């Protein structure tokens, strides 16, 4: 299957597993999982396509796992806007993390800090290349902010790392943000 087609399906899967499961006729459990068989039927996907999307995903957006009950389930690793308890363990971040965003948002961010908006957390990248890619999603001029994550953690702000390497925190106050 062509790359563009896989990306399209990945976006459809993200929408159902992160934002609007009911619209796809799905009910996720408290941790965001849904049985793979149910998911395939609701999304009109075959297993080979699902496997190709999950394995080939540039950001490892999805996890497939067999539960204690022997049932195979799928969930999104992060990025939800619906309430799910991902069960992430608090984790010690590196000294610096990065956030790519629109240059037009800079003054607002420096005034109020980074807010999680509709998502569960503020998303931070482990390196500038990843942050640049995140910022470029917005189009227009982008800026890469440095977040003093080590200082934040020592100041009592909890950090979590999703299964696919995205760093998550509740908010980043302006004093922990450095511009280029």
Binding residues (CB under 6 A) for ligand HQG: these are 59, 61, 79, 101-102, 105, 108-109, 112, 114-115, 117, 119, 123, 134, 138, 166
Q: How far is the CB of 25 from ligand HQG (least distance, A)?
A: 22
Query: Which residue's CB is nearer to ligand HQG, number 79 or number 93?
Result: 79
Task: Kindly state the smallest distance separating residue 169's Cβ from ligand HQG, in Å.
Answer: 11
Shortest separation between residue 69's beta carbon and ligand HQG, angstroms: 28
Question: Which is nearer to ligand HQG, 70 or 139 (by Cβ)?
Answer: 139
Task: Output the smallest distance, CB 108 to ligand HQG, in A.
Answer: 3
Q: How far is the CB of 70 from ligand HQG (least distance, A)?
A: 29
Contacting residues for 55 by C-beta, under 8 A, at least 6 apart:
none
Least distance CB 20 / ligand HQG (angstroms): 14
Reduce the DSSP state of residue 34 to 3 states and report it.
strand
Nearer to ligand HQG, 67 or 173 (CB): 173
With a CB cutoff of 8 Å and minimum separation 6, the contacts of 49 are 1, 9
* 107 backbone dihedrals φ, ψ, rounded to 5°: -65, -40
Nearer to ligand HQG, 70 or 107 (CB): 107
Side-chain half-sphere CA neighbours of 72 within 13 A: 9
Q: Fill in the DSSP letter of residue 160.
A: E
Indicate the residue among 12 and 119 with the shorter CB distance to ligand HQG: 119
Decide whether 92 or 108 has the Cβ nearer to ligand HQG: 108
The torsion angles phi and psi of 125, rounded to 5 degrees, stand at -105, 150
Instruction: Identify the CA nearest to 125 among candidates 93, 155, 91.
Output: 93
Strand order in the sheet with 122-124: 122-124, 167-169, 159-161
- Do 70 and 113 form a contact (C-beta atoms < 8 A)? no
């Amino acid at each position: 299957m062509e790359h563009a087609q896989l990306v399209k399906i990945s976006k459809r899967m993200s929408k159902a597993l992160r934002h609007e499961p009911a619209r796809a006729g799905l009910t996720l459990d408290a941790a965001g999982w849904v049985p793979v068989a149910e998911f395939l039927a609701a999304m009109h996907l075959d297993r080979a396509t699902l496997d190709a999307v999950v394995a080939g995903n540039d950001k490892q957006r999805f996890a497939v796992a067999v539960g204690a009950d022997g049932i195979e389930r799928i969930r999104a690793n992060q990025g939800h806007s619906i309430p799910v308890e991902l069960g992430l363990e608090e984790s010690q971040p590196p000294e610096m993390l990065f956030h790519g965003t629109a240059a037009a948002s800079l003054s607002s961010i420096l005034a109020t800090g980074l807010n999680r908006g509709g998502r569960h957390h503020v998303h931070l990248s482990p390196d500038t290349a990843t942050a640049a890619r995140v910022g470029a999603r917005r189009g227009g001029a982008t800026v890469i902010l440095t977040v003093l994550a080590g200082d934040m953690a020592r100041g009592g702000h909890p950090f979590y790392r999703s299964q696919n390497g995205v760093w998550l925190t509740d908010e980043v106050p302006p004093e922990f943000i450095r511009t280029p």
